[in-house]
Structure formats: structure tokens, C-alpha cells
Amino acid sequence: MFLRRALSGPALSGGTIIEERSVKAAAVFYLFLWWLGSVFILLKGCWMSLSGPGFFDPDLLTVLTAYIFLRYGKTGAGVFAAGQGFLVDIFSCGLHGIFTTVCLGALGAIYLGCRFFHLETPRGRAVTVFVAVIFKKILLLLLFLVFSMKISGPWNLAWTSLLSAFLSAVVAPPVFYLFDRWMSIFPKEAA
């Protein structure tokens, strides 16, 4: 009962993922997205420790958050953003709560962005993800400055943040399409 209510929140497309697929399939796919986000966090942490600090990377967590927002609604995306941000906080050696705040800020940017750009279209997905990643980077920078963490090379940081947002925007439409195709293999719920 709880699972059906949690997964049947209003989506932007006028329906829910539950109307198209079974509750079990939607829950399994939601857990798969959680697993994918967790693996991305671990791999990104390993990659950043080898290559050094930088913001040059496509932000798959924001893309996943936007997808979950579109298909599972605000509640599913909020739980995902808070959980993945908390996971980043656990694995990072910084102040706890910074990345949870940043991920929830990205969700807020996605929520506001979908009011101006149609998240069902590839262009709307790209623009919304671009704006959310830029907002996420600015919020992270502001939190670092508030908590007196040293930031080196602000111009380099600006360019790498723009490049990261651009790469995330380019990656978003194919990722949405791929996830929708994967979801289409699950059987429809019997009437």
C-alpha cells in the first residue's frame, strides 16, 4: 500500500509511471536508479582521487534526479536527491550536510526549471539539467566560501563548471531515452 502511494505521485506528463507499468517493476527500476547513482558516486570519488580536484565531469546525479522527478514525481526525486547527497557526504571527508544541501538545491532548480521548460522534450531536458548543474556548482561554491574552505583558481572553476553543465545537458536526453526504453520492457499492469 505504501509503495503504491509513494510511487504514484503526480508526474509532469499528466500520469504516473504506475499507470503504465506495474508497481513492482517501477519499484525495481527506482532501486536500480539508486544503485546506479551510488556506483557513480563511488567511481567519481575514485576518479577524482586519481585525477585531482576539479569540476570537469558530467553530473549524472543531477541527470538521474531530473529523470526521477519526471517519472516518479517530487517525492521520489526528493528522497533520491537527499539520499544520494547524504551518501556523498558520508564518502567525502568534508563537513556533513553540504552535499545533501547541494543535491536538494539541484532538485529545487529542476523543479523551477520544469515550470519554464517542458521536461518531456529533449531540449527542455537539456536546458533544465544545464540550469540545475550551474545552480548546483554555484551553491557548492557558496557553501565552500561560507565554511572557509579554500578555493583555488576561480576562473578555472567557472570554466570547468560551465563545461560540466554543458556535458550534463548533452548527456541528459540520451539517458532519459535509454531509461524510458528500459522501462518499456517491463510488462504493463493488468486491468
| 164 within 8 A of 58, measured Cβ to Cβ | yes
Q: Is residue 25 part of a domain?
A: yes
CATH number of the domain encompassing residue 102: 1.10.1760
Total structural domains within the chain: 1
pLDDT at residue 149 in the model: 66
Determine the average pLDDT of the residues in 162-172. Answer: 92
| 183 within 8 A of 77, measured Cβ to Cβ | no
Ramachandran region, residue 56 (left: φ > 0; alpha: ψ -120 to 50; beta: rest): beta
pLDDT above 80: residue 1 = no
Determine the average pLDDT of the residues in 20-32. Answer: 80
Q: Which stretch of 97-101, 134-138, 144-148, 171-175 has the lowest confidence by average pLDDT?
A: 144-148
What's the domain range around 131? 17-183
Distances (CA, A) of 164 to 102, 113, 134: 15, 18, 8
Q: Is 100 helix (H, G, I), strand (E, B) or coil?
A: helix
Q: Is residue 11 part of a domain?
A: no
Q: Is residue 119 part of a domain?
A: yes
- pLDDT confidence bin for 3, thresholds 50/70/90: very low
Which pTM was predicted? Answer: 0.82
Instruction: Give pLDDT tens digits for 119-147.
Output: 899 999 999 999 999 999 999 888 888 88
Mean pLDDT of the chain: 81
Q: Is residue 191 part of a domain?
A: no
Q: Is residue 189 part of a domain?
A: no
User: C-alpha angle 11/99/163, rounded to 5°?
Assistant: 80
pLDDT above 80: residue 151 = no
* Cell 585531482, located at residue: 52
Instruction: Give pLDDT tens digits for 59-95.
Output: 899 999 999 999 999 999 999 999 999 998 888 877 7
| 18 within 8 A of 8, measured Cβ to Cβ | yes
pLDDT at residue 10 in the model: 47
Give the whole-angstrom CA distance, residue 132 versus residue 153. 22
Contacts of 98 (CB under 8 A, 6+ apart): 89, 140, 143, 144, 147
Q: Is residue 2 part of a domain?
A: no
Determine the average pLDDT of the residues in 171-178. Answer: 94
Q: Is residue 9 part of a domain?
A: no
Name the DSSP letter for residue 184: T
Q: Is residue 50 part of a domain?
A: yes
pLDDT above 50: residue 38 = yes
- pLDDT confidence bin for 48, thresholds 50/70/90: low
pLDDT at residue 191 in the model: 47
